[in-house]
Amino acid sequence: MAQPEPQTSGSLALIDRLQWLGDVGAGAFGSVHLARTAAGTPVAVKRVLMASGQEMREVQMLQKASQHPNVIKFIDWCSWNTHDDRACVYIVMEYLPENLHARINGRPLSPWHVHRFSTQLLTAAVHLDILQICHRDLKPENILLSHDDVLKICDFGSAKILGQGPSSNYICSRWWRAPELILGASEYTTSIDWWSCGCIIAEMMAGHPIFTGDSSWGQMYAIVRVLGTPTEREMQSLMPESGGIRLAQHFANLVKLRRGGRSWAELLPAFAHLPGSLAIPRKLLAYSPKDRCHPATLLSARCLSPSKSRTESKAARCDRSDTVRKRFKRNPTALIAVDEPKPKRQCFLVPPQQSSIQVVE
């Protein structure tokens, strides 16, 4: 890529000295390029054309969220004009060589890797929830992996701080899109990201996406084929206020299906023998946003936290979940990724002596 000419605002001190090495990828958003700093450090540079007026929001989201071990590290940004006089925002971030989609590659991951990546993904989800940042496009391609298997969420181009008026429902890639978005909700919570996390964790266990509709309504029916027909209460929780006649007819068609859900053991056979493993995607993939399990609660559960007493009460588990959230709010790195050797014997329910994410209590 030809090096552009600096024209406008931003921190040019670092960017102006980058050595451009090549292209990483491109899409509707713009393009990503590999560069090297003066110190020899490889970095990823995302170039976004300034057209919608929302380009700076990604910079703001990264500045707010990236001080966490499981979110891509933001380094610098600036606004430049290219040689053909197009205004672009250039965002410099750390470079990671692999994404989760490439790691899955059509095969279930090992229980050790599913445990490690699930814990780090949910830890990042807790962090974003505390900041009230909704990523709105979580999928394996937007999850990067380091050489030592540290997971980092990237691509905050669709992210938004919630509570600032109605939000677009035509966001999030289809196979990881929550039901309320498919049905047209313009007011939603970070639980749409939790749904995406459930899809991703199930995909790691299956080796492929589990909901693969070929259109928006095809996606809804794909979900029903797996989870079964939603109950009347669940439908009411999903129905947007401005539903209209067409949406009501679709709901009526869903009711007529009267379909039972598939067995999770049948859906994810590679993990059916591991106690507690199937509960993770199941608790995240609930029709009603209010029924989705908070990631902090899952992190404090036996299947994702260091071994706890089998006699621990439900109240104690709730207290531990609250502790996770409170400590996380005071210190976003309270749950930190550590480099650990792979255990000789893999087990999902009881993690190694040093868990990939330590819950500090």
180: three-class secondary structure by DSSP? helix
Q: Print pLDDT tens along the chain (361 aa).
A: 545 444 444 555 667 788 889 998 876 677 899 999 988 999 999 998 877 666 788 999 999 999 999 999 999 998 877 667 778 899 999 999 999 999 999 999 999 999 999 999 999 999 999 999 999 999 999 999 999 999 999 999 999 999 866 678 777 899 999 999 998 888 899 999 999 999 999 999 999 999 999 998 899 989 999 999 888 888 888 876 665 556 666 666 766 667 788 999 999 999 999 988 999 999 999 999 999 999 999 998 766 765 443 444 444 445 545 555 555 555 554 444 333 444 433 333 333 333 333 322 2
Cβ contact 56:156 at 8 Å: no
Tokens of 125: 């989800």
Q: Could you give the CA distance from residue 284 to residue 29 in angstroms, rounded to a whole number?
A: 29
List, in sequence order, every beta strand (DSSP E) within 197-326.
Answer: none
Cβ contact 274:111 at 8 Å: yes
Q: Whole-model pTM?
A: 0.81
The residues assigned a catalytic role are 137
Binding residues: 46
Q: For 207-235, give one letter per residue: b (16+ CB within 10 A) or e.
A: eebbbebeeeeebbbbbbbebebbeeebb
Binding residues for ATP: 46
Domains and CATH numbers, the chain: 5-94 (3.30.200.20), 98-330 (1.10.510.10)
